[in-house]
Chains A and B, each alone.
Chain A
């Protein structure tokens, strides 16, 4: 917990403040989507539909915010702090940069990466007929195009898009729950963003993986990259640092056999056999008497006697 000079006055306030504190295991990043001073219909719709895609983890700002993220990030950082959002989408429209859309993310309340795109072509979800996927689905992301693996800027932007669209972090998935595919293709200097609805078709009697059919769901965007502001490698590295507690520890001496039973190896301290209670086992006593006579027996009893004496002293 951070040190606060002014204490929250109510329990509810305290909880609200603590929710924003850094955690070892972080909650899902929220995304804020906002409009700049001027926006075209295309940009507004694009923002709205991005909001639809990201819904439980996104906030769509209703008002205009006259800022230019590439010139001054302070208001962006302010809103990020307020909404506790680490991702943002910013739409604007001007003569110089028509249909402008900025994707970005923040770390520790400060800007990390952002990339500016021009929307060349936009096809709304409403214009495409057919079924849509449910809200809050974890999408499958597909990146294609050589640029995403070769160009350093594109690599970072790929990372940004994964962060932006990946949805909730889960350990398990249900195959039927994979309803939504976002495909990003980098080709001839553009990035094509497409959304598909997945339909799994299982033929009767087959046990293998189902056959997948994709259906364009929208929105579809053709993006042209404009300006970028990417974090230095140093800052990026620090932002990627994982806490020691989050790493999974290797557990020694524990294994599972073929049936799933947990097996462990336990190390014991050497057992003191001289103190074994042998009084009642007449048979053993007789044997020792016969073979080794009194000498050994005396040795075995002495520690016990000594203990008795020490107790009396106390």
Chain B
């Protein structure tokens, strides 16, 4: 102990608030941790997409100006401007006058919360690679014909006996699932094996056109986002706003003249400023 004290008093010391403390050296012995090293939070689907597209997160201010009370109010939380709590709500021009606008607003909010929760769970499932059932058919205001058909097929099967005893409507086309097809057990499979062996012997790579196209598309997109980043401030702004235009040029034209599309995009950005703004709002909501 005397040795320890002697060594300690030889170490550099500091005095703070009239007390002299000795600075201990770095520990040489490594002790086990209590818990493993924390892992980085996995990306959500949106985050991954935003990164791919080079979409930056915009910080929203906490306080919003409320013109009625003439003061700043928080965007969310206690003391926010809650429309459902006000005594009056405007009925939109083409809305049903008997519709309860308050109930509608509350229902919409509930829907948004539920949707967000669903997305959260699906993100977790995606990361953990757990199998989850599909979203199914969500109710829409204006269902398309296809949507209706799907709903019908689903409801048809949604009985205890999986729709075995359901009567069909007179002109109803039943959507049946895909039937699995098996190779026959009785045919000579020499031909089949030959085909496989030939493919292996040739060494010709199998080209998945869809995949190749996707890879090419991705690369092009990344290049463009890199170019956007490296470009000067003005170009950058134009690029970010002309997001929609850029997207259009993608799906419409086959890849071949990327340089031209770039030039076109900057032009479009001036005309399509509004569209770009809309895109921004969309992003905020997600």
Interface residues of A (CB under 8 A from B): 1, 3, 5, 21-24, 26-27, 29, 86, 105-109, 112, 140, 142, 159, 162-163, 166, 170-175, 178, 181, 196, 198, 200, 208-212, 214, 236, 238-243
Contacts and interface: CB of A to CB of B under 8 A. Distances in A.
A171 B11 CA distance: 12
12 contacts: A5-B121, A140-B4, A142-B1, A162-B31, A163-B31, A171-B23, A172-B24, A174-B20, A174-B21, A210-B5, A240-B32, A240-B33
B192 to A, nearest CB: 46
B22 A172 contact: yes
B216 to A, nearest CB: 33
A175 B5 contact: yes
B35 A162 contact: no
A22 B22 contact: no
Contacts of B35: 21-23, 26, 86, 107-109
B23 A108 contact: no
Interface of B: 1-2, 4-6, 8-10, 14, 19-24, 29-38, 41-42, 121, 124, 127-128
Contacts of A200: 5
Contact of B38 (A3, A23, A159, A162): A23
B6 A209 contact: yes
Contacts of B38: 1, 21-24, 243
Contacts of B124: 3, 5
A175 B22 contact: yes
Nearest to A207: B9
A217 B211 CA distance: 75
A97 B1 CA distance: 35
B123 to A, nearest CB: 8
Contact of A159 (B20, B29, B42, B127): B29
Given A21-B38, A173-B22, A181 B1 contact: yes
Nearest to A166: B31
Given A5-B121, A172-B21, A181-B1, A209 B9 contact: yes
A107 B33 contact: yes
A253 to B, nearest CB: 22
B30 A240 contact: yes
Given A3-B127, A5-B124, A23-B38, A241 B33 contact: yes
Contacts of A166: 31
Nearest to B117: A7
Contact of A107 (B2, B21, B34, B41): B34
A306 to B, nearest CB: 17
A26 B14 CA distance: 26
Contact of A212 (B5, B22, B23, B31): B5
B1 A198 contact: yes
Contacts of A162: 29, 31
A26 B146 CA distance: 56
Contacts of A198: 1
Given A175-B9, A212-B5, 19 more contacts: A3-B127, A22-B36, A22-B38, A23-B35, A108-B36, A140-B1, A159-B31, A166-B31, A171-B23, A172-B22, A172-B23, A173-B21, A175-B8, A175-B20, A175-B22, A178-B8, A198-B1, A212-B1, A212-B2
A243 B8 contact: no
Contact of A240 (B10, B31, B41, B128): B31
Contacts of A196: 1
Contact of A174 (B19, B29, B42): B19
Contacts of B30: 240, 242
A178 B22 CA distance: 11
Contact of A163 (B23, B32, B128): B32
A243 B37 contact: yes
B19 A241 contact: no
Contacts of A170: 24
A1 B124 CA distance: 13
Contacts of A238: 36
Nearest to B14: A172
B40 to A, nearest CB: 10
A255 to B, nearest CB: 17
A148 to B, nearest CB: 12
Contacts of B6: 209
Nearest to B37: A243
Contacts of B8: 173, 175, 178, 209
Contacts of A140: 1, 4
Contacts of A175: 5, 8-9, 20, 22
B31 A22 contact: no
